[in-house]
Amino acid sequence: MASRYKNPRICLVPSDELRVVVLRLSEASGESMASVCASLLEESVPVLREMLAAFDAINANSDRARELLNEYGSAMKVAIDDALRSTNQSELSLPAVDHRRKHHKERARRASGT
């Protein structure tokens, strides 16, 4: 299916958590947020094709339709998790964030009354 646009767009509305992760990946890599999202989706194309086959089976009232949908839905989650893990903090040269340390400092500050 060809698009009449040179660079067709898709509007996404991410959760707050996903938006923050994509923003940090964007800042760290120097790529736009759209490029980061596109890269993650590109890595998921094989799984997306399998999901499409599962939906096609559902629409054709196949006996295995629900089983395929559950199977490929789980595979999609694994693929996205793997894609996000493949770009870890060490590859991005980001400082590790230790939320426990911040929490302990805040608790100590409150306890001392300062």
DSSP the chain: ---SSSS--------HHHHHHHHHHHHHHT--HHHHHHHHHHHTHHHHHHHHHHHHHHHTT-TTHHHHHHHHHHHHHHHHHHHHHHS-HHHHTPPP--HHHHHHHHHHHHHHT-
* Number of domains within the chain: 1
Tens digit of pLDDT for each residue in 8-35?
Answer: 888 889 999 999 999 999 999 999 999 9
In a domain, 40, yes or no: yes
- 114 lies in a domain? no
Q: For 50-78, how does the pLDDT look when each residue is reduced to its tens digit (9 = 90+)? A: 888 878 877 776 666 667 667 777 777 77
Domain enclosing residue 66, as ranges: 16-86
Per the confidence metrics, is the pTM higher than 0.85? no
